Structure 1
């Protein structure tokens, strides 16, 4: 069957769940992953044909999409900050907002021109933050912590695939009293979705992505931020910086928390969707 004809059928098959634009983007993601063809390649080769075996493979993917399994988990890969990452049900799918956090750190470093930095990523998941920083900040030594051995396995594979060196450590940050070394930058995108916000979460996320990495209790939504900020006061170098991705509804609370822990130059930034999404704070006079 000609790929162009199958594309029409593919979009129709999932139109009850996804809008046409999203379904079309799925089609092209699969085309690139399975056939190494970009959108332009199909346009230039309108008579490209799928074999019977390929149609069967596509139909299996279609069935998984109908179950609202995220396309990234179906394909086993996603892109983040221009790099390719393996993902599965043990790690969160990296989000565009998190790319903005990485970009912020890199831009800050370009302005200040630090060398030989020690960077720590807490709750690394797929390793997307740590690996993107290691790839883009030369002469840095990057460390990454996660509580999940399954997540760390994926993160290590991703570091290898992207040809960077990251030191991965299995650790429960809530049970950690000291990070045992000093860092210039600590960054974290910890669990921050409150149970009361579950109704805002899409079904495909709720049913498939790891809840351990997503949710916190309503009555203590900042538990991870408080703990990481406490550790940072002990384990950041002087003028070291703490970056967080945050719950969009808790921007003011985050500023207050960081202020109470003794941080200065606290900055709250919005993401591309105009939600309060990330903070930066500086630790001064840490001696």
Structure 2
């Protein structure tokens, strides 16, 4: 296994000399959003930015789900810290598991980057209603990212048209993962 000069990102070198980033190992469960096309499109959009936009910065990802974007962001850009935030407590538990799955090698030893840090040094996950965790802990952020197309409209009039007494149990249950008092 070789390391990319940017941040010690593990890469594999094929016989033709072509380099490809290793895939992240991810656990998923039914009660959290499974990454879909929109999240991959979002990550591709992040890739268009220069390395300096995230390098050595403190970043929050809103709606981190299973944590894959926070982990990938930390591997590629070496921010000083990424806070993955999600209102769904199950998503946070899975994100922590996914962090360990990708921060440790097959022998359970930490994988260090070129700066001598691991993903465990760079990424943390917390249950949070948007930025409440960062506000409550007085964390100053340099960047905030988030791909949360399912976030609700905070306009009460709009919400009263979306959420009615006739809404299905499934619909109301799905909202419970994304609603909290502001």
TM-score (norm 2): 0.56
The 8 Å contact of residues 193 and 214 in structure 1, kept in 2 or not, is answered as: no
1:91-119 CA distance string (max 9 Å, x none): 10101221221222232133x46531111
Q: Which has the larger radius of gyration?
A: 1
Aligned residue pairs, count: 130
CA distance in 2, matches of 1:140, 1:174: 18
86 and 176 in structure 1: CA distance in 2 versus 1, 3 angstrom threshold: closer
The answer to which structure, 1 or 2, has the higher relative contact order (CA under 8 A, 6+ apart) is 2
Q: How many angstroms apart in 2 are the aligned matches of 1:151 and 1:97?
A: 18
By percentage of residues, which structure has more strand?
Answer: 1
Q: Assess, with a 3 A threshold, how the Cα gap between structure 1 residues 213 and 120 changes in structure 2: closer, same or farther.
A: farther
Cα deviation, 1:125-145, whole Å, max 9, x if unaligned, reads 111221111121124311111
Q: Say which of 188, 192, 207 aligns to 2:146.
A: 188
1:101 maps to 42
Query: Does the C-alpha gap of structure 1 residues 113 and 185 become closer, same or farther in structure 2, counting only changes over 3 Å?
Result: closer
- Correspondence for 1:58: none
C-alpha displacement of 1:169: 1.6
Question: Which residue is equivalent to 1:152?
Answer: 92
Assess, with a 3 A threshold, how the Cα gap between structure 1 residues 176 and 152 changes in structure 2: closer, same or farther. closer
CA–CA separation in structure 1 for the residues paired with 2:152 and 2:130: 18
Q: Is 2:75 the counterpart of 1:135?
A: yes
User: What residue ranges of structure 1 are gaps of 5+ in the alignment?
Assistant: 1-80, 198-206, 217-222, 228-287
Matched, 1:85 2:26: yes
Distance in 1 of aligned mates of 2:75 and 2:60: 14
Shift of 1:87: 0.6
CA separation of 1:92 and 1:114: change in aligned 2, threshold 3 A:
closer
- Are 1:106 and 1:133, in contact at CA under 8 Å, matched by a contact in 2? no
Listed one character per residue, the Cα deviations across residues 217-241 of structure 1 (whole Å, up to 9, x for unaligned) are: xxxxxx9xxx8xxxxxxxxxxxxxx
Distance 1:139 1:123, change over 3 A: closer
Report the 3-state secondary structure (helix = DSSP H, G, I; strand = E; otherwise coil) of the residue aligned with 2:50.
helix
CA shift for structure 1 position 158: 0.5
Structure with the largest fraction of helix: 1
What's the CA shift for 1:193?
Answer: 6.9
TM (normalized to structure 1)?
Answer: 0.37
Deviations 1:145-193 (A, max 9, x none): 1222221110000011111221112222386793622222111223337
Distance 1:97 1:192 in 2: 14
| Contact map agreement 1:117 1:140 (CA 8 A) in 2 | yes
